[in-house]
Every structure is written in C-alpha cells, then in structure tokens.
Amino acid sequence: MQQPRNRWDDCGTRQNIYMHSPIHEYAEKLASLLPDPLKVIYLTNSGSEANDLAMLMARVYTGNFDVITFRGGYHGASPYAMGLTSMAAYKYPIATGIGCHTTMCPDVFRGPWGGSGCRDSPVQTIRECNCSPDCCQANDMYVQQLKEVLDTSVSQQIAGFFAEPIQYPKGFLKEAYRLVRERGGVCIADEVRWTGFGRTGSDLWGFTAHDVVPDIVTMAKGIANGFPMGAIVTTQEVANALTRGSHFNTFGRNPVACSIASSVLDTIEEDGLQQNSAQVGTYLLTELAKLRDKFGIIGDVRGKGLLIGVEMVKDKVSREPLPGVEMNEIFEDCKDMGLLIGKGGVYVQTFRIKPPMCITKDDADFALAVFGLAIQRQMARRL
C-alpha cells in the first residue's frame, strides 16, 4: 500500500527553512570575493527584490527615511523599487517613491559638464577638457548638485544613496559616499544589472574601481547565468537591523539556484572570463570609437569591459537624441543580419552592448561589421 506523502517534507525540499549545504557553500564562496566588512549575505529571487530589501535595510538600520538616486537611473520595476527608478517609461499614475529623491546624473557626455578625461574607461567623450591632471571640473559640479539636493530636498538625516558604480567622473563616487555618510545614510552599490561578476574587466565588482567600499551591495542578472536569483551583501551591523522584525523569503536561497550560482563563480575563474571581458571588451570599445569618429549619428561610445553603450544623436553639435524611428531601423537591420543588441536610455537613444563574457575577438569583429553596415544604411536613408 502506498504511504501517504508527508507534506512537510515536500515543503522542505522547496523552501529555505531547512539547512542545505549548497546554500552555505555558496554564501561562503561569494563572501570570500568581497572586501571586509561585506560578509553577510541575503539571497533573493531577483534584482528588484534585492533593491527592495536594501532600501528596507537602509531605513531600518539608520532610522531615517529619505533615499537618493540619480535622475535617469533604473533600479527595478517592483512597487517599492519603482520609487528608486527615475525613468517615466517605468512609472504608473499611482503613489510610488515616497521618500525617494533624485540628483543630477553625472553624465559627462549629455550633462552640462564633462570633458575628454573624466571617465574610468579606455574611451573618453569627444568633448574638450581644459582641466589640469589633478582636478576635474565636471566632478566638482556634479558633487555640488548632490550637495544642493542634500541641502534642499531631504531631511537633515537620510537613509541611503543608490548608485550603479560605472562611468562617473573620477572621484565622484568617493565624495558622494562621504557626503551621504555625513548625513547618517548608507551607501548602496547596485550591481544588479551588469557591473558585477567581472563584466567590467578590470575588477570583479564595479565599486572597486572607484576606490570605495559600500555598506550594501545588490546583485542579480549574471549571478546564476539566467536562473532567477539575486543577492544582497552587507555588513553585520546593517544586517542586525533586520532582527527587529521577521524577514522571510519562500524561494530565496533555493539550493538549486545556489548550486548554479556556485558553478557560475567557478566558471568565471576557470575560464578567465573577467580577463576576457577586459581584453575583448577593450578591443570592442576602441573599434566602436572609430565608428563614432566616422559617423555623425554616433555621439558617444562609453563603457568598460563588456559593458558598452553607444549613444545615438541627430548630430554631434546639438547632441539631440536620434529619433526612435531611426533607432528601430538600425536595431532591426542588426537583428536581420544576426546581431542582437539592446536599447536603453531616458530617450531610448542608446544601444546597449552586453554580450556573453565568453565571446571571442572573432565574435567582436562580426558585431562590428554588422553594426557598421547598419549605420551606413541608416546614413544612406537620411540622404
């Protein structure tokens, strides 16, 4: 006679309320890759959920409410994270984002300040720069914008500051962290989408290149090579704040997800994917910059490693975004020729190139040939 199934055993195989070795093995492996004191790990199902929890942590730990992000930034589309996201396309006419404030994005191409030596990148903007080697006017001015937000838009004490650690003027993030901590806030590095796990080439984590150590790091996307998973890494002190209540996640810390994520870390190291991102990515960036110099509708090429943005414009003088119709024509041409790229930006004017970290130089050459031909076709349509 068949024995009745124990529903509690079934529950235990799917939830995280029981001890599973893959969970703890992965947590130890991930923690070993981050600097002290970032050693406490919470596992989630997605990046939006990770950012939700990071905002909760910041508010509970500090006892403050206001959170600052950049205009034009994206940190998720869940109801809580939507407040952190500053893009109209992701907004609904409902109350979201209470206590979330924005400061000017330090965009050295499209913003009011920027020059040819601002970025931590092998490719700089085409804008001129008269700064001496030991100073950066753009950095100073964008820091001043943050100071004005702190002085006018938030209370005297704040909860935190979210920023994806990529492409800011040199020294900006370090000064921003100092200002935020002076106001009692914690600093959150959002590495959910692309900056983590070696994609930028020079570092395993995006924040490392800025010579800062955040209080909280969020990550997802590449963490498990497409399997639904996210994570928060923080300090023991910040994590202790969650013991004031009960935090639970049914499928976070799924042992299957942890096994996959553990294999991802092994593959990154064994296959040298961070080094490949640096080598192939730098080649791709520099070749794309040559296309920028050749074609008037390519306004900016930016990025690091295999995290690249190509911003399209009507012309380089006005820097007005290339209309959506033209963006779609280039996009479709690339797709028809076998090249898949993304689109993004406040005005959907930027092609996002973020290929698998295992691509080769031959793959990059194919992408360059296709993209170059698609741009040529678009230039012909404009005649």
Query: Tell me, what's the pLDDT at 338?
Result: 98
The 10 Å CB-count burial string (b at 16+, else e) for 328-364 is ebbbebbeeeebebeebbbbbbbbbbbbebebeeeeb
Kindly list the domain boundaries of the chain, sorted by start residue.
9-270, 273-381
From 45, 49, 43, select the one nearest 23 (Cα to Cα). Answer: 43
Banded pLDDT at 79 (limits 50, 70, 90): confident
Amino acid identity of 79? P
Quickly name the fold that domain 273-381 has: Aspartate Aminotransferase, domain 1 (3.90.1150)
CATH class as words, domain 9-270: alpha beta
Q: What is the pLDDT of residues 16-35, one digit of tens each?
A: 567 789 999 999 999 999 99
Q: 309 has which bridge partners?
A: 302, 352
User: Coil, helix or strand for 59?
Assistant: helix
pTM: 0.94
Query: Tell me, what's the pLDDT at 17?
Result: 66
Instruction: Confirm whether 9-270 and 273-381 share one CATH topology.
Output: no
| pLDDT for 112 beyond 90 | yes
Q: What is the pLDDT of residues 279-290, one digit of tens each?
A: 999 999 999 999
